[in-house]
């Protein structure tokens, strides 16, 4: 199945939502959510609702749009950003759901998911989405992976914008920086630069066979390294803490959370 320009169906959502059903879905699929204490669960649910109100879902092929799909996919982005103050996307406007793996122009192999930066959309296979959450410890979660790509892109875009304004108009850049505080970026830029430097070194180690903890796909480029690191950070956090402690500690600072602290992983500041 190749994705055409015409998408099957779409729907925007607005308040209120069925919190009871949301909890059922999240408890069924998300180990991260199940482990949270009750106050943290309430915050998590609220963020899922906010995320869903900010994006459009569409389906393609033999699959109907259901709240279960939306809740689970939104939970992946909320999970990654749970330790940060910003938790909705602005560049990406649509999420497309396919029943299973799919073909896409420009790719030889079928995809589980991908991010199209120019068309501002994220595509995910529902079969692989479910599998990624139900098998919770293999560091293969297509939602976490693709949402990591989307998050990194939006973060780099915002940083690039501020640098551009700084070159053209220093007073305007200072004004924007004072309004949009560091804590309201998806990531802390200073920590991101530290992660980037570490990533370049570790990419070489993966390619040279000196590091086998992250899956081999992480060696493709620095962006895949980031996405694969996010998958492992959440699904194999205890192992990463032992085998790649510097990467683990950097991601804790970058994302503002420690997933080995199950009840509430958010770093208190």
Q: What would the pLDDT profile of 138-182 be if each residue is shown by its tens digit?
A: 999 999 999 999 999 999 887 776 665 555 555 655 555 555 555
- Residues 125 and 155 occupy one common structural domain: no
The verdict on 117 and 188 lying in the same domain is: no
For the chain, the residue count is 269
pLDDT tens string 7-58: 444 444 444 568 999 999 999 999 999 999 999 999 999 999 999 999 999 9
Phi, psi of 61 (to 5 degrees): 85, -155
Token pair in block for residue 126: 């529902």
78, 123: one domain: yes
Can you give the residue range of the structural domain that contains 65? 9-147
Instruction: Verify that 141 and 103 share a domain, yes or no.
Output: yes
262 part of a folded domain: no
Count how many domains the chain has.
2
Q: Are residues 114 and 92 in the same domain?
A: yes
Q: Alpha-carbon Rg of the chain, whole angstroms?
A: 18
Last residue of a domain, one of 92, 117, 147: 147
Looking at the structure, do residues 217 and 90 belong to the same domain, yes or no?
no
- Give helix then strand counts, H and E, for the chain: 11, 5
């Amino acid at each position: 199945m190749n994705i055409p320009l015409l998408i099957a169906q779409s729907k925007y959502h607005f308040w209120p939502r069925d919190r009871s059903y949301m909890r059922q879905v999240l408890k069924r699929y998300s180990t991260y959510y199940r482990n949270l204490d009750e106050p943290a669960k309430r915050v998590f649910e609220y963020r899922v609702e906010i995320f869903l109100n900010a994006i459009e879902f569409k389906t393609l092929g033999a699959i109907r749009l259901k709240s279960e799909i939306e809740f689970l996919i939104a939970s992946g982005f909320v999970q990654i950003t749970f330790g940060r103050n910003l938790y909705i996307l602005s560049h990406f406007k649509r999420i497309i759901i396919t029943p299973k793996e799919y073909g896409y122009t420009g790719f030889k192999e079928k995809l589980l998911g991908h991010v199209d930066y120019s068309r501002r959309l994220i595509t995910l296979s529902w079969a692989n989405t479910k599998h990624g959450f139900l098998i919770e410890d293999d560091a293969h979660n297509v939602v976490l992976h693709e949402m990591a790509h989307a998050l990194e892109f939006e973060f780099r875009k915002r940083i690039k914008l501020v640098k551009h304004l700084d070159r053209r108009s220093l007073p305007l850049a200072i004004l924007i920086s004072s309004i949009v505080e560091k804590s309201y970026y998806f990531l802390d830029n200073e920590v991101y630069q530290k992660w980037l430097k570490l990533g370049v070194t570790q990419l070489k180690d993966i390619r040279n066979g000196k590091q086998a903890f992250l899956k081999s796909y992480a060696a493709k480029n620095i962006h895949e390294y980031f996405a694969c690191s996010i998958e492992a950070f959440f699904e194999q956090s205890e192992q990463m803490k032992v085998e790649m402690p510097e990467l683990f500690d950097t991601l804790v600072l970058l994302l503002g959370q420690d997933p080995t602290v199950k009840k509430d992983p958010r770093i208190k500041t």
